[in-house]
Structure formats: structure tokens, C-alpha cells
Chains A and B, each alone.
Chain A
Amino acid sequence: MLAIVLLPLWGCASAPPPRPTARPFDDVRRISIVVAGESSLSVVEHKAEPGRTFDEIMAWYPTKVWMRPLAKLVHQGINWALGFDQTVTIARSVDGISPRTVVAAAMARRLRASGWFEEIRTLEREQSIEDRRRDDAVVRVMVPTWGLVRVRDGDPDLLAGFADVRAHMAQPGTGIVVWEGSEDVTSPEQFPVGAFMKDPDFARQEMVDVLERAGQRLASELMYARRAGR
């Protein structure tokens, strides 16, 4: 009898927690998109070697436990050194590009095309309190990391442009955040690392494309959440 009483209760307890009710913001008509934060460019390859080989060697010395963290450090150091030259080469290709500005501009274009907003401004720095009063909301856009990432194992491995972006929209008076989004954006196109290293114009275009894609993604998710809960 006790089991019969407890079973439905147990079922309730194990059910997933209810999703928080999103606050719709379809009354927001004038927004400013402000770029914020620092951006770091990198080539992320997540290589298994030489760490795997070190592990195989370690297997012959099970008593030398202290060597394991050392092997991990050496693995990281070697890969950092290998990736450093690639990052420097890519950095030269994208010289002069401000990732946050490209993302913010693409986001603004996509939002304008929706016809949902009366005014969308993109700003390179925080505006004055007076200026803020013009807007219904301020969107802050950040691009903490961007660059190239290995997306497929093979011979050769394939890499794609990536941009990890964040944005949040707040009411200018109260500072209440009405929407926030975080997107890992990856280019659908994949190439061997040599393609990016040998052709700076190609590398530059790929990186701009992925940043624009990131801006469009943020805009899509912002628009998708606009009437959430209605």
C-alpha cells in the first residue's frame, strides 16, 4: 500500500523542473547594439598527440605516478608551441578586423530586416545616460574567442572558422536583463589548416563570414525569444 502511495510521488519528484517563464519583450522598438569586452584569436586543434604516446610510455612505468602530470604539461606545451605560429599567421590575415564590430553589424542587419524595430544603432562604446534614454533596450555584444577549430579527424584534419559570442539585452533605466544569449558558432565550410595558412585573403574572408554568421545567429535567437511566454 505504501509503495502505491509513494510511486506517484516519486514520479513527480523525478520529473524535470519546470522551465522558467521567459519574459516577452515585443514592446522593444528602439535598440542600441554596443560592442563590449576583449576578443582572443586562437587556432584550437585539440590534438591527441604527443599525449597519447606519453601515456603508452607511462604504462611501462606504473610506479612513476609523478610523471603523469608532467607528461600532460609537456603535451600542452608542445601543442601550444605548434599552434602559436599558426595563430600568428592567422592574426596577420585578419589584421584590422574588429570581431565585435563585424558581429554587431551583422546582428543589426538581420534585426532590421525583420521589420520589428523602428531604430537600431550600433555603437563602438558605451553611450551617455542622455543617449540611453532614446532606447527601449541596449544590447551588449561580446566575442570572447574566435579563430579556427579542428572539426573533423582525418588525413589531413579539417578546420573551420569559429566565433564564441555572447549578448544580453537590458532595459536602459533599470538595467534589468530581458534577454541573453550565448552561441558557439562554427562555419559550415571545412578545410585543411594549410588552406588558411597559404592564402591570407581566403583566411580573412572565412573569418569575416563566420563572424557575420555569429551576428545572424544572435539576431535569430533574440527574435525567437521576443515573444516567448506569450
Chain B
Amino acid sequence: MIPRRLLVSIVLAGLALNGCGTTSTTLDVRYPEQGANSALLASAAPRRVQISPVVDRRIEPARVGSRPRGGGDLVTSRPVVEIVQDALSIEVSKNGHAVVSDRPDVVLKTVVEAFWLDAVDGYSSLQYVGKVVIALTVADGRTGETLLTRRYVGIKRREVDKPDERQWREVLDTALARTVHDLATDPDLVATLARVPTAVRHSIT
């Protein structure tokens, strides 16, 4: 026979845990490697590029949005900094540059300022607005001198009839892809990479 007080505690703890379990929805947001192309960034001669660990400066780092009508938090299955770091690595590699951890020609320092999904509640529809903002600093790999600072903003808007987890992920995926595509086709970034001298002839595979 379980004492009444213990039983009440178990029920309350169960309710609390159940509440935690249902309040957040996990989204597997990612930058699709198979969709990445060799773009304008490939116009610069191959460089050794070090991507510093991405810094998270979002206002609400614990989540990427909330479900419509107070349905709980939206979170990503991997840390946002890891998602952005992977996206940059894929794009830089796809454009013929080597992602390295030592003797870099250039260092990319990235700050995530926003990674967020808004749901705008309408009468018979919902509108999702996904927004990804990253600030990029390009530094000389030898001197550390800042060569370029840029801010890339990717936004995706989509109207749907019903809340749908797949749509949330796709809206954030597209916002991230637009941010990265803007980076890969930025003439100023390409010109900066092209200007950086390479100290030694590297073999880039």
C-alpha cells in the first residue's frame, strides 16, 4: 500500500514532467548539403579558411520560437551555433576552399543574432515568418587584422491553413539557406578572399 502523501507527490511530479514534455517541439533544422552549389565564392582562388566557433548572441538562446496560440516552445534538435557552423563549412568547402584548423589564410568569425520563427495568427490561416541573421567578420589569418564585416539576413514567409511541424522546419531551413546563399554570392566577400595572399602553396582537396 502506497502512502497517500507519496502517491500525491508521484502524481504531481508526473504531471509536471508531462507538462515539460509537451511544451516544446523539436525541429531538425539543417542546411542541405545536396542543395549547395559552387557559386560566386568559388571565383576567388582556393584559400585555407578557418571558421571560428560560432557565437550565439540571440535574445532568447533557449528556443527558436513558440507554437501558435501559446502551444509551447520550438527548439532545434542541435544547438543553433552548430547548425550555422555546419552550414558555413558546407558552403566554404563546396566553393573549393579548404576548411582548416591551423595556418589559415583567413578566419571567419560568425555571430548568430537571430534564428527565430514567428507565427502570426489569422482567422482561417497562419502565417509563419522565419528569420536568420548572422554577422560575419573576415580576418587575415596571419595578422588577425579585420578585413571585412558583413551582416546577412534571410527571411522566409509562408501562409498555411493548419499548424504543421514540417512547415516550421521548412520555413527556418529556407531562411537559413537564403542567408548562406547571400553570403556565397556576396561580391565584397569574394573580393576580400581574393585579396588575401596565401603564404604557401597549399594543396586543397
Q: Do A and B form a real pair?
A: yes
Question: Which chain B residues numbered 46 to 67 have a C-beta less than 8 Å away from chain A?
Answer: none
Return the contact of B157 from the options A48, A110, A184, A227 (Cβ within 8 A). A184
Number of A-B residue pairs with CB-CB distance less than 8 Å in the complex they form: 86
Q: Across the interface, which residues of A come within 8 angstroms of B42, CB to CB?
A: 227
Q: Across the interface, which residues of A come within 8 angstroms of B34, CB to CB?
A: 19
Complex contact B38–A230 (CB within 8 A): yes
Complex contact A220–B185 (CB within 8 A): yes
The count of residues in chain B whose C-beta lies closer than 8 Å to any C-beta of chain A is 32
Q: Does A223 contact B (CB under 8 A)?
A: yes
Complex contact A186–B157 (CB within 8 A): yes
- Taking the closest CB of chain A, its distance from the CB of B127, in whole angstroms, is 5
* Cα–Cα, bound, A226→B42 (Å): 12
Return the contact of A220 from the options B129, B156, B182 (Cβ within 8 A). B182
Return the contact of B156 from the options A48, A184, A188 (Cβ within 8 A). A184
In the complex, the chain B residue whose C-beta lies closest to that of A54 is B123
Question: Which chain B residues numbered 135 to 178 have a C-beta less than 8 Å away from chain A?
Answer: 153, 155-159, 178
Return the contact of A48 from the options B121, B155, B178 (Cβ within 8 A). B121
Q: List 19 interface pairs A-B (beta carbons < 8 Å), by A numbering.
A: A19-B35, A46-B127, A48-B121, A75-B123, A113-B187, A116-B43, A149-B127, A152-B118, A152-B120, A152-B129, A185-B155, A188-B131, A219-B185, A220-B185, A224-B39, A227-B37, A227-B38, A230-B37, A230-B38
Residues of B within 8 A of A (CB): 34-35, 37-40, 42-43, 118-125, 127, 129, 131, 133, 153, 155-159, 178, 181-182, 184-185, 187
